[in-house]
Amino acid sequence: MKDPYKNKERWDNWKQTHFKKNPKGIRKEDWKLLIEFLNDMELGMNTPVGKNGKRGAGTLLNLSSHNQLFLKNFKKPLLKLTKKDLHGLESDIDTGKILKRNGEKFTAFGNYIKDFQVFWNWMVRVGKVKENITEDISCKTDKPSWVYLSEEQIKEFFNQLSLDYRMICWFFYDAGLRVTEGVNIKVQDFSENFKQVSISDEIAKTFGRTINLKLSTELIKEYVKLNKLQPEDYLIQKAPFTINKYLRYHSSKLFGADNISNPKSKGKYKEFTLYDIRHNSSCFWLNRYPTHKGLMYRFGWKQANKIDYYSQFLGIADELTDTDMVLSEDRDKIYKLENELESFKQKQLKQDKRMQDLINEFDKAIQEKKIRIVEK
**SS3 sequence of the chain:** CCCCCCHHHHHHHHHHHHCCCCCCCCCHHHHHHHHHHHHHHHHCCCCCCCCCCCCCHHHHHHHHHHHHHHHHHCCCCHHHCCHHHHHHHHHHHHCCCCCCCCCCCCCCHHHHHHHHHHHHHHHHHCCCCCCCCCCCCCCCCCCCCECCCCHHHHHHHHCCCCHHHHHHHHHHHHHCCCHHHHCCCEHHHEECCCCEEEECCCCCCCCCEEEECCCCHHHHHHHHHHCCCCCCCECCCCCHHHHHHHHHHHHHHHHCCCCECCCCCECEHHHCCHHHHHHHHHHHHHCCCCCHHHHHHHHCCCCCHHHHHHHHHHCCCCCCCCHHHCCHHHHHHHHHHHHHHHHHHHHHHHHHHHHHHHHHHHHHHHHHHHHHHHHC
The pLDDT value recorded for residue 341 is: 63
Kindly state the average pLDDT of the residues 288-316: 90
Delimit the domains of the chain by residue range.
7-125, 151-314, 325-375
Tens digit of each residue's pLDDT (9 = 90 or more) over 198-246:
999 999 999 999 999 999 999 999 999 999 999 999 999 999 999 999 9
Q: What is the CATH number of domain 151-314?
A: 1.10.443.10
Identity of the highest mean pLDDT range in 141-150, 172-181, 343-352 = 172-181
Kindly state the average pLDDT of the residues 94-102: 92
Residue 336 pLDDT more than 70?
no
On whether the pTM is more than 0.85, the answer is no
Tens digit of each residue's pLDDT (9 = 90 or more) over 337-369:
556 666 766 777 777 777 777 777 777 777 776
Q: How confident is the model at residue 91 (pLDDT cuts 50, 70, 90)?
A: very high
Tens digit of each residue's pLDDT (9 = 90 or more) over 251-272:
999 999 999 999 999 999 999 9
Mean pLDDT rounded to a whole number for the chain: 89
Q: How confident is the model at residue 52 (pLDDT cuts 50, 70, 90)?
A: confident
Residue 374 pLDDT more than 60?
no
